[in-house]
């Protein structure tokens, strides 16, 4: 039972992570093919939704991570790959909060790190799951 509950929260984390990644994908598509895609109502509504809730998806990912960690740690102990993935996720959210609070229009260096960490998080999650 605990395995299923922990697995459920793990899947929720992955879904929320994918939704946060869609922020970059949708903005890229809009920048590259915006004139053609603006004709499609589904794309424009999806873009608005993904961009609007990007921060919420990130914060919910942390909340689900805490629940997932508590369940898994209580019943199975510490997973090194899980701890690494969690650390990368915490770093990712910290960068996102920093970018929101201290965002400078001239200095976008934090944004490149935020995107790089997103890829590193994908690798960490894949290693943890397999």
pLDDT in tens, 49-91: 999 999 999 999 999 999 999 999 998 899 999 999 999 999 9
Is pLDDT above 70 for 104?
no
When divided into structural domains, the chain yields a total of: 1
For residue 21, the model assigns a pLDDT of 93
For residue 108, the model assigns a pLDDT of 77
Backbone region of residue 77 per phi and psi (left: phi > 0; alpha: psi in -120 to 50; beta: other values): left
pTM of the model: 0.84
The domain in which residue 66 lies consists of 2-129
Q: Which residues contact 37 (CB under 8 A, 6 or more apart)?
A: 29, 30, 43, 44
For residue 130, the model assigns a pLDDT of 87
């Amino acid at each position: 039972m605990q395995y299923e509950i922990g697995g459920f929260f793990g899947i929720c984390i992955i879904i929320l992570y994918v939704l946060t990644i869609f922020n970059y994908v949708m903005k890229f598509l809009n920048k590259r093919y915006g004139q053609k895609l603006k004709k499609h109502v589904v794309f424009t509504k999806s873009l608005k939704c993904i961009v609007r809730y990007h921060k919420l998806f990130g914060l919910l990912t942390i909340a689900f991570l805490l629940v997932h960690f508590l369940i898994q740690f209580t019943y199975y102990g510490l997973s090194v790959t899980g701890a690494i993935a969690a650390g990368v996720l915490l770093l990712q959210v910290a960068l996102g909060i920093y970018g929101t609070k201290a965002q400078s229009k001239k200095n976008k260096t934090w944004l490149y790190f935020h995107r790089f960490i997103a890829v590193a998080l994908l690798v960490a999650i894949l290693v943890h799951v397999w």
